[in-house]
Structure 1
Amino acid sequence: MKRGVTMHGFAFNFNTNAHHFKLVVLCRIQAIYERSLKVLENVKKIDPSIYTKSGIMVGLGEREDEVLDLLRDLMQVGCDYLTIGQYLAPSKEHYPVVEYVHAHIFKKYKDEALSKKFIQCSRDAIPYLNRLLIILTNINDEKDKLL
């Protein structure tokens, strides 16, 4: 980072929970669940004012309790924002969708995330880029209120 430049937000996606993390490792060999948590935790240690965001995918065969455990882990390392999206296989060669998660389950995850004091939780099958743009807009709005 350049001197004199202030970072307001840091995004680091998990993509899945600890149990299904090995599925993501097939695509990202360097991915380790505990190390990924440590990245977010270290950002907060360096500068607690930096907003942190993570994203997960559902529909890979995870159980609800596993997703809730991941929410707990993210909150414990100080994650501020969360996106939860439906996994969609990019092609027939990729890992298949195990389940299309129902809207009421997405709502349950969002309600649980907000009860754990995440600032915001976006959830649905909107592509990640759109959700990230929404979150970044909200971060800028929050920063403007503080200034």
Structure 2
Amino acid sequence: MNFPKFLRKKLIIGPLNKTIETIKKNKIHTVCTEANCPNRFECFSKKTATFLALGKKCTRACAFCDIDFQKFSKAPDPREPFNIAKSAKILKLKHIVITMVARDDLDDKGANHFCKIIYEVKKLNPKSTIETLTSDFSLKFDLIDLVLDEKIDIFNYNIETVRRISPIIRHKATYASSLKILKYAKESKKVKFVKSGLMVGVGETKKEVFQTIKDLNEAGVDIITIGQYLSPNNKKYPIKSFVTPKEFQEYKDFAKKIGANNIYADPYVRSSYNAKAILNKALFK
């Protein structure tokens, strides 16, 4: 499937060395690289990245994701919390985004290690805001509470797609459970903002996207992101359609009509893309 003209954007990048060297030197991982994000060079040039915790092997095999699947992975690296915190400090990040692979092989699903990362990041970067993009922790809400109790600024958990497509492209996680997690985080009142995102171009209808926006809004989600799905390789779920700028605008218009004012919908929008700017806008609305 050929890329339409509206999907082609001029790649404006600066020096990448600082970010890449910091990541390699501290032996950490980023979702930017492991998931083959199309924005990674732009972000690296701005000396920013989304840190990937608990290794680079995921215990789930979602059809859309390029992160390697492994049913049983290595034990969490005890040096990872400090190394991520140190990297954030070197890069002088004002807003730090930490995501994670699913670790169904661990009793606590990686929650305690993830919280150690947040603690170390706060310790070395006390003035920075923190956004987490977690797994569902196998719907163990006591584990979700561990993360929420760390007093992060944004709790991000992606619904990924519309209800009908969810069982086709997601492994274990469901549409209903995703809404439950997001609603739980919002009702906990332990976090400033709850955020969630979905991909389009995976076979959904416009009506289904409207419904998902409505469902997220009713669950209390403060920030919604919508971006064009781009298949990372020919072994993964194929692109079903290219969503036009007009359609993205319709999604934004619908969201604002129902009171979901913090919506970001464009082809290259991703969960943590321009995360600092998105947080700033939410703070001043």
Q: TM-score range by the shorter chain?
A: 0.7 to 0.9
Greater CA deviation, 112-121 or 124-133? 124-133
TM-score by length of 2: 0.45
CA displacement at 1:48 relative to structure 2: 6.8
Residue 156 (structure 2) pairs with residue 11 (structure 1): yes
Cα distance in 1 for partners of 2:172, 2:276 equals: 27
CA displacement at 1:7 relative to structure 2: 2.3
**Residue matched to 1:138:** 281
The answer to whether the Cα contact below 8 Å between 1:83 and 1:131 also exists between their aligned partners in 2 is no
Residue 233 (structure 2) pairs with residue 91 (structure 1): yes
CA displacement at 1:127 relative to structure 2: 4.7
TM-score by length of 1: 0.84
Cα distance in 2 for partners of 1:100, 1:63 equals: 12
CA displacement at 1:9 relative to structure 2: 1.4
The answer to whether the Cα contact below 8 Å between 1:17 and 1:62 also exists between their aligned partners in 2 is yes
Cα distance in 2 for partners of 1:62, 1:134 equals: 28
**Secondary structure of the residue that 2:172 maps to in structure 1?**
coil
The answer to whether the Cα contact below 8 Å between 1:24 and 1:31 also exists between their aligned partners in 2 is no
The answer to whether the Cα contact below 8 Å between 2:226 and 2:264 also exists between their aligned partners in 1 is yes
How far does the alpha carbon of each residue in 1:15-66 deviate from its partner, in whole angstroms, 9 at most, with x for none? 10001101322xxx22111110000100111107621111010001101111
Residue 24 of structure 1, aligned match among 166, 169, 187: 169
Residue 216 (structure 2) pairs with residue 74 (structure 1): yes
Cα distance in 2 for partners of 1:5, 1:11 equals: 14
What is the number of equivalent residue pairs in this alignment? 139
Q: Note the residue ranges of structure 1 that are not aligned, 5 or more in a row.
A: none
Cα distance in 1 for partners of 2:195, 2:185 equals: 11
The answer to whether the Cα contact below 8 Å between 2:200 and 2:226 also exists between their aligned partners in 1 is yes
Cα distance in 2 for partners of 1:107, 1:134 equals: 19
Using a 3 Å threshold, how does the CA distance of structure 1 residues 22 and 131 change in structure 2: closer, same or farther? farther
Cα distance in 1 for partners of 2:259, 2:269 equals: 24
**Secondary structure of the residue that 1:83 maps to in structure 2?**
strand
Q: Note the residue ranges of structure 2 that are not aligned, 5 or more in a row.
A: 1-114, 120-145
Cα distance in 1 for partners of 2:269, 2:167 equals: 23
The answer to whether the Cα contact below 8 Å between 1:11 and 1:53 also exists between their aligned partners in 2 is yes
**Residue matched to 1:65:** 207
